[in-house]
Chains A and B, each alone.
Chain A
Amino acid sequence: MTKRLLSVGTALALTISVAACGSSSSDSSSSANSPLVGAGSTLVAPLMSKWQSDYASKTEATVTYGAIGSGGGIDQITSRTVDFGASDAPLTEDQFSEAEGVEQIPWALSGTVPAYNVKGAPENLKLNGEVLAGIYLGKITQWDDPAIAKLNPGAQLPSTKITPVYRSDGSGDTYAFTNYLSTVSPEFKSTVGTSTQVKFPTGVGAEKNDGVAAAIGQTDGSIGYVGLAYALSNELSMPLIENSAGNFPEPGVESVEAAADAVSKIGPNNEISLADLPSTAKDAYPISTYTYVIVPLESEKADALKKFISYAISPAGQSYGPDLDFAPLPKQVVAAGKKAIAKIGS
């Protein structure tokens, strides 16, 4: 046992030293291959780890990434302790001015999905934005509420009390979810609002995706929200959410892609909200969200950053998405990304 551990350790050490040699030799050859360090969004982390290994094999450049959460990513890039940050929530105006001279580029596309645990309720329960807002505002308190029954004609609904579960830590999922609820419900917008951290009037707060999933699993009658990839890989029961076309698309890569295709408006700083979908988007998943990379306009590693982000939004980088429950970026977003990349270091 010890021997095996030792040999594993030696192998690791060798790999690390080889990798170190590789990166140091490329360092001297060109600055576009200098190693990068990034931190932020946990949502993008699985895709990032694919990118890291693929990018390293193609360019011999190493990218180190710390999945510390979107808020942490914003903090770190603001203080310039990393070369790039990643966030699921676009920067606020305050954050932009505090970060001084950064560019925000959408580089992956996913969704936030509700998940529920209600004994005696049907699978694929149908809900809509107003009902979700009502639940999180504490207005709809039982699973047999007429508003829920109306969306699920003929379904047997228990009278279990609804326990909404939310993220108690700052989270890109909270941003996407509250952004959606604020779009569909004026009351939600005025009493709760949109942010990575909000004050929900009712419910239970839990830490991170795992905490939310555990709280849902342990509480009969609960509903919460987690990242799409997390929900799919953990096989949580997800309700179907009505979109603007009146359909109930299954949460997944196709429906998220449909949502992104339906929105062509790219806001200032490349901010794109997918909460307000047109009614023509029949198969669009209503709580889809972009996740962003945040890069300083001026940096010693500008060339390396440009190269890596160009790779990430390229068809090669995006091709790893679907297996990991990320939808590929639509053309106009890639075009906007390229424009933004050109600004780095110039």
Chain B
Amino acid sequence: MILDLPRFVTAERVYWNELQTVLDRLRLEPNWRMSIPEIERLHYLYERCSADLVRLDTFATEPQLRAYVESLVARAYAEIHETRARAGKIRWGAFIAAFPRAFRRHPGAFRLAVGLTLAGCAFGWFAIRADPDAKAVLMPFPALMGSPAKRVAEEESMKTDRLHGHKASFSAQLMTHNIQVTVMTMAAGITWGVGTIILLFYNGVILGAVAADYVGAGYGQFLAGWLLPHGAIEIPAILLGGQAGFILAGALIGSGERTSRTERLRSVAHDLLAIALGAVAMLVWAGIVEAFVSQYHQPVLPYSLKIAFGILEMAALSIFLSRVGRT
């Protein structure tokens, strides 16, 4: 049996055109709020076109016509079966609260990130204490290669502002680099978490090695005054990137869960987004502090003041992550 195609097209074209007009408008105006009668009409047109597609599949052989109706049905399907809320105006209050809520929903992933970083720190610490020559391998950065005593002496006797005329660009470079590291730590979760583990551990190794170098030489106060003002925000931001990486890895692996991988990934997507954006905002702040505060030492900025500032930031961050968004 073959469909009487011209009669069929003549009868149905008016509905196809109407549906196409509605779909084009939805594409051009993503925030168009349809009235109830308009929604009902869209639903009717979708069902009618779906029925046409079935008839064409069963009784007709014209591929171009089938592709046309199929594309209409596909587009209408996305609109009709979209049950999720549309993005309207951004509500900043809810947006800001989403970050700590997402953080609190996955304590295990954050603990794992902290644990791996601490393990890396311990490794870096003991490696440097056991073999100071390992410094060149563990922290291959020219700024960290010299002797702590020499650096502290230079920094404390500095008469001029060595960052004069470079502070803002230095700050921008720090921000972009740290955001890249954090995004990579999160994205590496797609390797079932292996990449995230390596990055967090290596980050910890560098931190532990630097701490061992300065504390071992008796400059613990200088180290705290140098690292705490920006590190109090920067290090937790990287840990949050690690947390997001492990959330992603957990959704991929889905050990013991009966839901599909697609459902698991869908369920954590919002949390990943909230944590990633929160970490980026933290790193913008950390970049500013690192360029404008951390690089100035005693007598310009007393260590006690810098350490107090760092502790204050850490306390504020802890309160924000643990309290904001609780109902």
Do A and B originate from a single complex? no
The interface of chain A, by Cβ under 8 A from chain B, is none
B residues contacting A by CB (< 8 A) are none
